[in-house]
Structure 1
Amino acid sequence: MFSLFNFQLPQPLLNVLIGVTLFRLVKYLFNTIKRTLSLPVGPWGLPIVGYLPFLGDHVYLQFDQLSKKFGPVYCLKLGSFDVVLVCDWPHLKDATSNDALLARPYETLVPGSERSFAEMSGDPWRQHKRLSLHILRDVGLGKNKIETLIKEEIDQFLTTLNTDGKPVDFSQKIGPSISNNIAILLFGHKYDYNDPVKIEMDRARASFTRLFKFAGILTFLPWLTKVLILLGKFDVHLIKKNFMIVDEFVQDEVNRHRENYNENHEVVDYIDGYLEERKNREKQNIPEDTFTLNTLKRNAAAFFGAGSETVYSTMEWAILYLVKYPEYQEKIRSEIADVIGFERKPDYADRARMPFTMAFIHEVQRIESIIANNLLRRASEDTKIGNHFIPKDTLVMFNFWSVNHDPNLWPNPDKFDPTRYLTEDGTKAVKPPYLIPFSAGKRNCPGEGLANVELFLYLVCMVQRYRIKVEPGTEISFEAVFGISRRPANLPLFIFEKVVH
């Protein structure tokens, strides 16, 4: 009987196979060593996992510490990926303006998911960004219309704080309100605070952003995802579960819009605009390419998450500082009295005459670095950051925390001091170019303008109407939890006492 074990290759062919194998192995080792030597220096890691086992929950702090040893630009092996960290302003400024560093990793943010425009590279990303901004501006982004809608939403939110002096769970109240603002742009409507579907979706979004980490196992060891789910490790099953809840929520919105869509329908939100673009491409026989319904769903989910989380987290930190420093709360209220009064509602234009209020917001964004690290970039070609060579396909991460706590830029950086932004006469707040809470360059957050309007209006409206405090003896903790954003770990209950004139 024929057996494979008795089969033998002719010696010449065997020699050729061995030679080719050895040649490829030597070539691979040579290229790997060459690439490693060309990268910026950094700490050694372990085989397969690299430096991942040495990273804790607050990776931005460890990245900052490593920069003090290896310099402001250094390289880590995370899983099988070479990741270059950028930890100072001169190099970060250079990197954010470098078109060769606009690409995203080949892997999706959540393994097995569709790719949103935020995860795209090259022409697909440019096309989706152009279309997204065009639609969002058409439906109100950057216009008086959206400011009016935000003010109406804030009026409704403020009524939830009227509890006759009883302590309030601030996060529970403000979360649904802030997500309503982006819902208007994306879905064309907002939700009742008691809507059970919206409550579950907000909970899932908040849980996902708390558990998911940019520099974590899912990102750098995606092949382990299924194993980790089975073993119940690193909350991967919860991350996937919450991701699916948000996914299904947005899918329902897309389905509803498709059912109601017709060519004469007025475009009132992002989903409408995207469906219209698909119809126009179909009429012109333009291939679907990345303009699929799945991409629409992922884009809407990405906008919803990003459009909620940053403002939500910033407002949580802001209220902590208002209570910790009541004298600053009174200064903001004094500006309100001088510029707006207590009868008229604030306008975003009022910010030009309220320098201390703006300085307060800037300082919250700096000291807490809500987005401590950026979404990973990928070098689409060989390039440089300063004098550091960055080979093609190297991943690059910006450590905003390091820049925001650099004593060369910010004297006494661990001190909360809004006055650092004020001119000598105190009449203007100057935001320095190295304060970039929404990143910078062509891949900065497209919702920055909306977020700035929300932060100003929510803060001013609350301080205009209420004196915010906690019960006597309550500890104010600035400990943070870090997932996608940095949020307070232990937010106390707050008392909103109506301001009497």
Structure 2
Amino acid sequence: MFVYTFWLLWNVVHKEVSTNVLSVFFVVLVLVRICQEVNKTRSLPPGPWGLPIVGSLPFLKGDLHLHFRDLTQKYGSLISTRLGSQLIVVLSDYKIIRDAFRKEEFTGRPTTEFTSILGGYGVINTEGKLWKDQRRFLHDRLRHFGMTYIGSRKAQMESRIMTEVEEYLCVLKAKRNAPVDMNPILAVSISNVICDIIMSVRFSHNDGRFRRFMDLIDEGFKLFGSLEAAVFIPVLRYLPGLQKTRKKIAQNRAEMGEFLQETIDEHRRTFDASNLRDLLDTYLYEIQKANEEGVGHCLFEGRDHDRQMQQIMGDLFSAGMETIKSSLLWAVLFMLHHPEVMKQVQEEMDQVIGRKRLPKLEDLSYLPVTESTILEIMRISSIVPMGTTHAPTR
């Protein structure tokens, strides 16, 4: 915008004013702009100076979270920096993070390629009233269907998990003495637990269509990751390569939407308001109630009902399946690299549980070595080291 304004001024007066005068005028404008930026940064937390346009991007070393860790060691637990066009404020102290996220002003989401593609649907990348309402609703409904570690309903969740553990072990036994890729097997087993809560179904490990759905989720993470550069330097989004990526993301999302819509349509066909089977039924009930009250158009802040349900299901699959799967894959990797720890865990489980039954949640208090090993694996792996990005709402 600044360059364009200068160009217009040049076209108007270049015939009547000398080049020297215009050069001085341009320098003054640049200096004014620099002074404005300096004044802005005075109210910001400390941090490194960046270059025009690209900010600190050329100075990034290795993983972003490790780069930020190094900066906090130099500037303190609250820092600011520019990555391209984006002003980033990094919170690295537990107390500061807790105090900030207690305030509604920090519940916003930054506008990125990712959020623009999602179109404000779902719960993970939404903000404001929709996020608040959906978060409260999901928290309440998921607890109702047994997604809790305490209370009378935890037995429901444990039963779902143990069913999939037994099936998972059967799949592994069938591949004994042969190389095995744990990724797709874990993905189906974990997703089946989520499927049972969301839509009261489970899929076979040989179900090609469901495996395709899992592959689309995996591919989605990679495709969205390739758009990161455009988040910081927006003009890059017009490059042919990124345009192709956006088109591929749209195709994949359409395919996932068709898969999820079939389930929504089937639930709508068999829906019984007096017998809510799962999370999807509770959404259909809320939609029916809103329509009967004449406020259906206001539900989900006016967004399309089916698209919102699709994205909620996609959010739960993506967040739930991917995080648990990654944690378990790290656990397998660490155990292979530390057989002495694996032996200690196995000996403790043999002593407390034996080999005639599978472990239960109630056994955990008697398995200190196993529990501490799990916690240490989660600490070292840190599968989401920076959490979800936030933005101020005002």
TM-score by length of 2: 0.80
d(CA) in 1 for partners of 2:286, 2:243 = 42
Matches for 1:43-82 after TM superposition, within 5 Å: 43-55=48-60, 58-82=63-87
How far 1:313 sits from its partner (Å)?
0.4
Could you tell me whether the CA contact under 8 Å between 1:52 and 1:216 is conserved in 2?
Answer: no
Render the CA deviation track for 1:250-278: whole Å, top value 9, x for unaligned.
Answer: 233223323333544x2222221111111
What is the match of residue 367 of structure 2? Answer: 354
Could you tell me whether the CA contact under 8 Å between 2:115 and 2:125 is conserved in 1?
Answer: no
Does residue 114 of the first structure (1) align with residue 119 of the second (2)?
yes
Does residue 312 of the first structure (1) align with residue 312 of the second (2)?
no
d(CA) in 1 for partners of 2:362, 2:200 = 25
Counterpart residue type for residue 268 of structure 1: R
What is the match of residue 134 of structure 1? Answer: 140
Counterpart residue type for residue 87 of structure 2: D
Does residue 249 of the first structure (1) align with residue 259 of the second (2)?
yes
Could you tell me whether the CA contact under 8 Å between 1:73 and 1:85 is conserved in 2?
Answer: yes
Give the one of 361, 364, 383 matched to 1:370.
383
Matches for 1:96-495 after TM superposition, within 5 Å: 96-107=101-112, 109-115=114-120, 116-142=122-148, 143=153, 144-162=155-173, 163-213=175-225, 216-221=228-233, 224-225=236-237, 227-228=238-239, 230-232=240-242, 238-264=248-274, 266-286=275-295, 287-288=298-299, 289-290=301-302, 292-381=305-394
What is the match of residue 3 of structure 2? Answer: none
Distance 1:339 1:107, change over 3 A: same
Distance 1:263 1:93, change over 3 A: closer
d(CA) in 2 for partners of 1:191, 1:308 = 14
Q: Bigger CA drift: 253-262 or 158-167?
A: 253-262
Distance 1:350 1:271, change over 3 A: same
Distance 1:277 1:28, change over 3 A: farther
How far 1:108 sits from its partner (Å)?
6.7
What is the match of residue 43 of structure 2? Answer: 38
For the residue of structure 1 that corresponds to 2:335, the secondary structure is: helix
d(CA) in 2 for partners of 1:366, 1:40 = 28
Of Structure 1 and Structure 2, which has the larger fraction of its residues in strand? 1
For the residue of structure 2 that corresponds to 1:111, the secondary structure is: helix
Render the CA deviation track for 1:408-428: whole Å, top value 9, x for unaligned.
Answer: xxxxxxxxxxxxxxxxxxxxx
How far 1:379 sits from its partner (Å)?
1.9
Unaligned runs of 5+ in 1: 1-7, 9-24, 382-501
Unaligned runs of 5+ in 2: 1-11, 13-29
What is the match of residue 441 of structure 1? Answer: none
**Higher RCO structure (Cα 8 Å, ≥6 apart):** 1
Distance 1:123 1:104, change over 3 A: same
Could you tell me whether the CA contact under 8 Å between 1:154 and 1:177 is conserved in 2?
Answer: yes
Distance 1:195 1:48, change over 3 A: same
d(CA) in 2 for partners of 1:42, 1:325 = 39
How far 1:210 sits from its partner (Å)?
3.8
How far 1:377 sits from its partner (Å)?
0.8
Could you tell me whether the CA contact under 8 Å between 2:55 and 2:84 is conserved in 1?
Answer: yes
Render the CA deviation track for 1:332-351: whole Å, top value 9, x for unaligned.
Answer: 11221222221122111211
Distance 1:273 1:334, change over 3 A: same
Counterpart residue type for residue 37 of structure 1: R
d(CA) in 2 for partners of 1:310, 1:359 = 19
d(CA) in 2 for partners of 1:329, 1:354 = 13
Counterpart residue type for residue 338 of structure 1: Q
Render the CA deviation track for 1:443-480: whole Å, top value 9, x for unaligned.
Answer: xxxxxxxxxxxxxxxxxxxxxxxxxxxxxxxxxxxxxx
Could you tell me whether the CA contact under 8 Å between 1:114 and 1:294 is conserved in 2?
Answer: no
Counterpart residue type for residue 275 of structure 1: L
Distance 1:108 1:341, change over 3 A: same
d(CA) in 2 for partners of 1:214, 1:284 = 44
- Kindly, what percent of the aligned residue pairs are identical? 27
Render the CA deviation track for 1:365-405: whole Å, top value 9, x for unaligned.
Answer: 11111111111111234xxxxxxxxxxxxxxxxxxxxxxxx
Render the CA deviation track for 1:180-219: whole Å, top value 9, x for unaligned.
Answer: 1112112221111111111111112122224434992243
Counterpart residue type for residue 348 of structure 2: E
Could you tell me whether the CA contact under 8 Å between 1:104 and 1:119 is conserved in 2?
Answer: yes
TM-score by length of 1: 0.64
Distance 1:52 1:111, change over 3 A: farther
Counterpart residue type for residue 324 of structure 2: V
For the residue of structure 1 that corresponds to 2:172, the secondary structure is: coil
d(CA) in 2 for partners of 1:232, 1:216 = 10
Counterpart residue type for residue 124 of structure 2: A
Distance 1:353 1:122, change over 3 A: same
Q: Pairwise CA RMSD of aligned residues?
A: 3.0
d(CA) in 2 for partners of 1:351, 1:322 = 19
Distance 1:57 1:130, change over 3 A: same
d(CA) in 2 for partners of 1:284, 1:140 = 30
For the residue of structure 2 that corresponds to 1:40, the secondary structure is: coil
Distance 1:212 1:119, change over 3 A: same
What is the match of residue 22 of structure 2? Answer: none
For the residue of structure 2 that corresponds to 1:132, the secondary structure is: helix
Counterpart residue type for residue 146 of structure 2: G
Render the CA deviation track for 1:19-47: whole Å, top value 9, x for unaligned.
Answer: xxxxxx99998765443221112223343
Distance 1:100 1:152, change over 3 A: same
